[in-house]
Amino acid sequence: MIWQGKLLHIHVAPAASYEMEELTEAQLIAGRGIIGDRYYLGTGTYSPKPDVREVTLIEVEVLEAIARGEPRIPGLRAKLEPADHRRNLTTRGVPLGHLVGKRFRVGETILRGARMNFPCKYIEQLLGIPGLYEGLLNRSGLNCAIEVGGTIRPGDPILPIDE
């Protein structure tokens, strides 16, 4: 599959339930996470549950679909800001759903898709947006492992490695 994408935003939160904060540059540590993020620090909602969650990604195309009102879900607010969705990296042009088990580059780092993210009701309560859980079903992004760490910045290219 031939594609070429771009990193739009980087967000981290220092602990569970804290607002996400946008970074202009982030350090990814292989096997750990993003410095300053709750899943690097072990303070995330799901930190006690063993799983790969070193860095999480979501497609901006999903946010755009929600903004267009697709699908129609009663009460679902039309706008979900990149700081709201609680994934670390917002991407454009990256087929995240096809990258489970595949390696790909984000700037100088290499990530490996571990599993599709599954939305949680928690986020509806946290943001006060009813219907958001359904709105994110099957498109809430990808949980990844960091194979090669490094520095990433918004604007970095995202490129496939494994076919």
Partner 1 sequence: MASPRIIMKLTVVAARKEPGDVLVIDVKHPRKSLLPPFEPGSHVDVHLPDGKVRQYSLCGDPTDLSHYTIAVKREQAGRGGSAWIHETVAVGSTLPVSAPRNHFPLEVGQGPTMLLAGGIGITPIVAMARVMERLGKPYELHYFTRSRALTPLLSVTEQALDASNVGLHFDDEPETRQDLESLLSKRSADAQLYYCGPPGFMAAVGRAAAHWPDGTVHFEAFQPPERDGVPPEPFTIELRDGTVVPVAADTSALAALRTAGVLLMASCENGVCGTCECGMLEGRPIHQDAVLSKEARAHRFIPCVSRATGVLRLDL
User: How far apart are CB 71 and partner 1 at their closest, in Å?
Assistant: 24
Closest-CA residue to 5 (of 92, 85, 100, 72): 92
- The C-alpha angle 133, 137, 138, rounded to 5 degrees, equals 160
User: How far apart are CB 47 and partner 1 at their closest, in Å?
Assistant: 14
User: How many amino acids of this chain bind partner 1 (CB under 8 A)?
Assistant: 12
The reply to whether 51 sits near partner 1 by the rule CB under 8 A is: no
Q: 99 or 132, CB closer to partner 1?
A: 132
Please tell me what DSSP assigns to residue 98.
G
The reply to whether 122 sits near partner 1 by the rule CB under 8 A is: yes
User: How far apart are CB 141 and partner 1 at their closest, in Å?
Assistant: 19
Which residues neighbour 9 within 8 Å (Cβ) at sequence distance 6 or greater? 22, 82, 83, 89, 90, 154
Which residues neighbour 21 within 8 Å (Cβ) at sequence distance 6 or greater? 11, 12, 13, 14, 83
Q: 21 or 108, CB closer to partner 1?
A: 21
Among 50, 68, 74, 128, binds partner 1 (CB under 8 A): 128
3-22: which residues touch partner 1 (CB under 8 A)?
A: 14-19, 21
Cα–Cα distances in angstroms (integers) from residue 157 to residues 39, 66, 74, in the given order: 24, 24, 36
Site residues (CB under 8 A) for partner 1? Answer: 14-19, 21, 122, 125-128
